[in-house]
């Protein structure tokens, strides 16, 4: 079984989901009391959030790189950034470690292709929606076009993430707002929608359109990597 290093706490709410999904799926395959060999480096999300809004991305890249190097020294054979947004600094992290990073966008793109789609809506933090580190990789490497909400809706989507979901708060009004925004993107031609923040699936599971639960998709990619040698042996 491969040992995996998780960069978590980004936020803690979604890191819990990664841990649960990974261990549950490993147990399903291996049976009994089997569980995954995981090492978790968990950040104080309050500090991370502050640095994001202060545009300190180089410092954030250094922070995640240092943590990833710690995980590698502890025996991690692959690194996982347990959030969509912080994949903005994934290239810098991968450049400075010697083990592979299991990239969120690669995992999501392969699932979109598996469902034979090429135009999807993208929800996430204001950074994920407005910057191109996510959408450009989808377009350039997988020929998948993304649609984002209008500016006012983007602001509201992001506000709900930071002020509610990352704090473990689920509000019905916010859920309905998300569903309205998703419906607009559907009207603009989206075949499905990427829940491009690992907290969004805590609130949205169905939306009258195909949804891509990035937390589960990414976690399942981790499970495949954990078990690939075990399955060969079996």
pLDDT tens by residue, 142-184: 999 999 999 999 999 999 999 999 999 999 999 999 999 999 9
DSSP code of residue 101: B
Mean per-residue pLDDT, 92-117: 98
Please answer whether residues 4 and 40 qualify as being in contact, where contact means their C-beta atoms are separated by less than 8 angstroms. no
**Given the residues 15, 125, 197, 214, the one annotated as active site:** 197
Domains recognised in the chain with CATH numbers? 4-103+216-233 (3.40.50.1860), 105-213 (3.40.50.1860)
Lowest mean pLDDT among 23-37, 61-75, 84-98, 219-233: 219-233
| pTM (two decimals) | 0.94
Which neighbouring-strand residues pair with 122?
Answer: 194
Does residue 233 surpass a pLDDT of 90? no
CA nearest neighbour of 17 among 213, 183, 227, 226: 213
How do 38-42 and 119-123 pair as beta strands? unpaired
Q: Average pLDDT of the chain? A: 95
Predicted pLDDT at 231: 57
Active-site residue, from 15, 65, 82, 83: 83
Catalytic residue check, 197: yes
Structure tokens at 163: 């002020």
83 is catalytic: yes
Residue 230: predicted pLDDT = 74
Distance CA 15, CA 218 (A): 12
Per DSSP bridges, beta strands 210-213 and 4-8 are unpaired
pLDDT of residue 54 exceeding 70, the answer is yes
Whether the per-residue pLDDT at 90 is higher than 70: the answer is yes
Task: Report the first-to-last Cα separation within the chain, whole angstroms.
Answer: 12
Q: Residue 232: what pLDDT? A: 47
């Amino acid at each position: 079984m491969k040992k995996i290093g998780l960069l978590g706490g980004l936020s803690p709410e979604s890191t819990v989901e990664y841990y649960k999904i990974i261990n549950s799926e490993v147990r399903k395959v291996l049976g009994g009391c089997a569980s995954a060999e995981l090492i978790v480096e968990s950040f104080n999300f309050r500090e991370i959030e502050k640095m994001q809004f202060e545009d300190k991305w180089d410092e954030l890249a250094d922070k995640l790189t240092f943590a990833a190097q710690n995980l590698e020294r502890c025996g991690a054979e692959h690194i996982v950034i347990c959030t969509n947004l912080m994949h903005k600094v994934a290239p810098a992290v991968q450049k400075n470690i010697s083990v592979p990073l299991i990239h969120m966008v690669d995992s999501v793109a392969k699932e979109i292709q598996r469902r034979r789609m090429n135009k999807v809506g993208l929800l996430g933090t204001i950074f994920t929606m407005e910057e191109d580190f996510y959408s450009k990789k989808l377009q350039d490497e997988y020929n998948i076009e993304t649609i984002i909400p209008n500016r006012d809706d983007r602001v509201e989507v992001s506000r709900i993430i930071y002020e509610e979901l990352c704090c473990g708060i689920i509000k019905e009004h916010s859920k309905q707002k998300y569903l309205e925004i998703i419906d607009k993107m559907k009207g603009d031609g989206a075949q499905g929608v990427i829940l491009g923040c690992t907290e969004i699936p805590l609130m949205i599971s169905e939306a009258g359109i195909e949804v891509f639960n990035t937390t589960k998709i990414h976690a399942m990619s981790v499970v495949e990597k954990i078990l690939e040698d075990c399955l060969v042996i079996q």
